[in-house]
Structure 1
Amino acid sequence: MELAIWFLIFIATFCIMEFMAWFTHKYIMHGFLWVLHKDHHKKDHDSWFERNDAFFLYYAAVSMAFIIIASNTWFWYGYPIGFGIMAYGASYFLVHDIFIHQRFKMFRKANNWYARGVRRAHKIHHKNIHKEGGECFGMLFVPFKYFKKS
């Protein structure tokens, strides 16, 4: 029973993180912390790293905090929450940084309907290089209109 609850908390956390990524992207990255995110919308970078990578560090710290607290207290459900955040971070890194932005030259030939839709949505998002007026702030779950054949 406890393993089933652990797994449900893990899956719920992973799914909630998609909402958190959307919310953070739309209202924080394109809001008061645009100063950290704007270099991500530039085509030319001075470095392989971006100021935008600071958001990864924040969520990594939150994930580690849940795991550390769970290992030192009765708060056992901190494990599935922490690992759910970590799993979402790994997914985000694979899809966003590797697959879409090609920070590592991998998954270049992926061309199924999901890959095309996610790429299309992200491309539309990056068409706008400004703080305001953007669209499609999600990462794994994007609107169905981006999956339609064009």
Structure 2
Amino acid sequence: MSWPFAVLLCLATIAGMEAFAYAAHRWVMHGPGWFLHASHHAPRTGNWELNDLYAVIFAVPSFVLILGGVQLGWWPGCTWIGAGIAAYGAIYFGFHDVIVHRRLAHRYVPRSPYMKRIVQAHRLHHVVETKEGTVSFGFLVAPRPEVLKAELARRRHAGVRAARGR
């Protein structure tokens, strides 16, 4: 397999993972997988939450594809698809767990319009602590915050957590 095609396959996988992550977040995590994801919409009391098991679950296909492509004689593209899944996982971890939720200490402050938008969209996702009524399921692509706020208002703020101190 040529290097340009391999890199293109990896990049296409990263882009495709955003669509997969949106669908998994909206219809699995906020559906039958809520028993794991609910911990992510509640205040965390420690370093880990049940929702972290999704990282392990989503790492399995990446691991299997890389192993198959490198060691088991599968189509070489499997390696690059697995690498794309792993790269998306690393991007997701950096954005979601480090920048948004600050699970690792850092001094980064989002300044670009894109980063401000994506962080605010994710925070608006978290104002709803119930399975239903949440907005913004993407991680790297999200609607403008004004659109999300209007949607929350349209839903009469159903499931929105009370302000702290109340």
| TM-score exceeds 0.5 | yes
**1:64 maps to amino acid:** F
**1:54 maps to amino acid:** L
Q: Displaced runs of 4+ in structure 1, greater than 4 A?
A: none
State the match for 2:80 in structure 1: 80
The 1:107–1:63 alpha-carbon spacing in structure 2 relative to 1, beyond 3 Å, is farther
Following the alignment from structure 1 to structure 2, what is the Cα–Cα distance between the partners of residues 147 and 105?
A: 29
CA contact (8 A) 1:117 1:147 kept: no
CA contact (8 A) 1:113 1:147 kept: no
The 1:93–1:16 alpha-carbon spacing in structure 2 relative to 1, beyond 3 Å, is same
TM-score, normalization by structure 1: 0.92
Residue identity (%)? 34
**1:66 maps to amino acid:** L
SS at match of 2:129: coil
* Pairwise CA RMSD: 1.6
User: Which of the two has higher C-alpha Rg?
Assistant: 2
State the match for 2:102 in structure 1: 102
Following the alignment from structure 1 to structure 2, what is the Cα–Cα distance between the partners of residues 147 and 69?
A: 45
TM-score, normalization by structure 2: 0.83
Q: How do 1:1-150 and structure 2 match up within 5 A?
A: 2-43=2-43, 45-71=44-70, 72-143=72-143, 145-146=144-145
Alignment deviations for residues 51-107 of structure 1 (CA, whole Å, 9 cap, x no partner): 111111011111010000111214100111000000000000000000000001125
- In the alignment, structure 1 segments of 5+ residues that lack a partner are none
CA contact (8 A) 1:10 1:83 kept: yes
Aligned residues: 146
Higher helix share: 1
Following the alignment from structure 1 to structure 2, what is the Cα–Cα distance between the partners of residues 116 and 107?
A: 15
